Chain A
Amino acid sequence: MCLAIPGRIVEIAQDGVLLMGKVAFGGVTRSVCLEHVKEAVVGDYVLVHVGFALSRIDEVEAQRVFSLLEELGLALGELGEPDGAAP
């Protein structure tokens, strides 16, 4: 129910009283209300739930977990690496 999916803004347009736009999710493009992410510009990624953009994706923050993983890789390497086989 609280499923929200990141998509890329391809178009922004005022529609009556609301700021609307077209957002691409992979190959599918949908009309999305952008009224609450007014800072977003075309090309930005936004998190969309029931046709409504909840927040702009922070691309720097999005990379953070992968830096953590690199650190973990080094730490685990000292203990013995996972063998990579699926469980």
Chain B
Amino acid sequence: MKFLDEYRDGEAARRLAAAIHVAVAREKPASIVIMEVCGGQTHAIVRYGIDEILPEAIELVHGPGCPVCVTPLELIDRAHAIASRPGVIFCSFGDMLRVPGSRGDLLSLKSRGADVRVVYSPLDAVEVAARNPERRVVFFAIGFETTAPANAMAVWLAKKRGIANFSALVSHVLVPPAMTMILGAPDNRVRGFLGPGHVCAVMGTSEYEAIARRHAVPIVVTGFEPVDILEGILRVVRQLQQGRGEVEVQYGRAVRQPGNLASRRLMDEVFEVRDCKWRGVGAIPKSGFKLREPYRDHDAGRLFEVDDIECAESATCISGQILRGLKRPRDCPAFGNPCTPDAPLGATMVSQEGACSAYYAYGRHADRRERGKLPIVGGAP
């Protein structure tokens, strides 16, 4: 497909990887720690083995950018309680419905008679509500800024069309506060970021320019295909070597500096910022969205009273440290046994974009391949 296949070209990827090998030939092993923020990038890196063709000087660590992963267990249990109510049609994206809560996943409720539906788009959930006026339709609205315009549009549309039986259980998280938290930690190791391409297609780059300035850290807003990711890494390396810490946009085919202004206006109309708890990480100030007051009649969090839910997380799981770039999946004693995508202990194993799940899916629990064996000839100078 156009705008995908050419960015998966093996020769182009090899050429970029070779340029990276040349650029870091004099750097010490693991001296350049780069975090990719977005779970989609993590998945691509592991799927295409990009980390394994990089020189040893570069260590990729995987960021907190998987919204399914960081959705708190309590909220999944809360969704479970709402979906179990008679008369409710509970809708969300497929990957969210498969995450196990402490009482099982949401899709498994179907076998007990609940009406749980996978939707492709939040707007489809509004349509389900329009066609079923006697039922209460709840949409589990999760995501980062990428998903926020579509989720905001669903709530806005329901209000506009007077579809009173549609509500959203909102658990939206925001990327910049998480990056700030990571950079502000005393044990931070991250020296540069691959910025989240699709988040920035919506939000633009100004928030990231502020972070780059404050922390003197390179942030290269990067796409999701191998050629994109390798170019992003090369650009971070060049900035570090030149002593720069700026925002650059590698993913210019989708990202403009101001972002999508129509989307940003709608998000601001429907959502307001709130403090938010991230699974595996804890509370981060001003890191999420809730619905604004004029949309309260579509707020499932208000409409459905659910008793407080206490959830116990695994004591072994190190997903919190993985999400902050301090550890990698293989550092965890539970990785692969007993923790697997079918029986996940924590955040980074619950969705295919979580670092542990991606490592597991591509066999990283089974072998330890050698790194840095790209056949660049001529040797590094």
Residue in A closest to B225 when the chains form the complex, CB atoms: A65
Given contacts A6-B4, A33-B121, contact A50 B147 (CB under 8 A): yes
Q: Does B353 sit within 8 A of A, measured CB to CB?
A: yes
Which residues of B lie under 8 Å from residue A68 when comparing CB positions?
231
Kindly supply a per-residue 1/0 record for chain B positions 47-85, scoring 1 wherever the CB is within 8 Å of any chain A CB and 0 otherwise: 000001100000000000111100000000000000000
Let me know if A38 and B262 touch, CB within 8 A: yes
Given contacts A82-B14, A87-B53, contact A52 B149 (CB under 8 A): yes
**Measured between alpha carbons, how far is A33 from B147 in the docked complex, in Å?**
13
Evaluate whether A50 and B93 lie within 8 angstroms (CB atoms) in the complex, with A6-B3, A55-B254, A69-B12 already known.
Answer: yes
With a cutoff of 8 Å between Cβ atoms, the chain B residues found around residue A55 in the complex are 201-202, 254-256, 260
Q: How far is the CA of A50 from the CA of B12 in the complex (A)?
A: 30
* Contact call B2/A45, Cβ cutoff below 8 A: yes
Write out the residue numbers on chain B whose beta carbons fall within 8 Å of the beta carbon of A86: 10
| Chain A: minimal CB distance from B13 (Å) | 10
Query: Beyond A50-B150, A65-B228, A80-B377, is A57–B254 a contact (Cβ under 8 Å)?
Result: yes
Contacts of A80 in B (CB 8 A): 376-379
Q: Which residues of B contact A59 (CB under 8 A)?
A: 253
The answer to whether the Cβ of B192 comes within 8 Å of any Cβ in the partner chain is no
CB of B153 within 8 A of CB of A35, answer yes
A38 to chain B, nearest CB (A): 7
Q: How far is the CA of A18 from the CA of B373 in the complex (A)?
A: 52
Q: Given A1-B39, A4-B146: A52 and B153 within 8 A (CB)?
A: yes
Instruction: List 14 extra interface pairs beyond A54-B254, A59-B253, A80-B376, CB under 8 A.
Output: A2-B146, A3-B198, A4-B254, A26-B1, A38-B262, A47-B254, A54-B198, A62-B252, A62-B253, A66-B12, A69-B12, A76-B18, A82-B15, A84-B14
Residues of A within 8 A of B (CB): 1-6, 8, 16-18, 25-26, 30, 33, 35-38, 45, 47, 49-52, 54-55, 57-59, 61-62, 64-66, 68-69, 72-73, 75-76, 79-87
28 A-B residue pairs with CB within 8 Å:
A1-B143, A1-B147, A2-B143, A2-B144, A2-B146, A2-B147, A2-B199, A3-B40, A6-B1, A26-B1, A36-B266, A45-B2, A50-B120, A50-B122, A50-B147, A51-B121, A52-B153, A54-B254, A55-B254, A61-B253, A65-B12, A65-B227, A76-B15, A79-B22, A79-B381, A80-B379, A84-B14, A87-B52
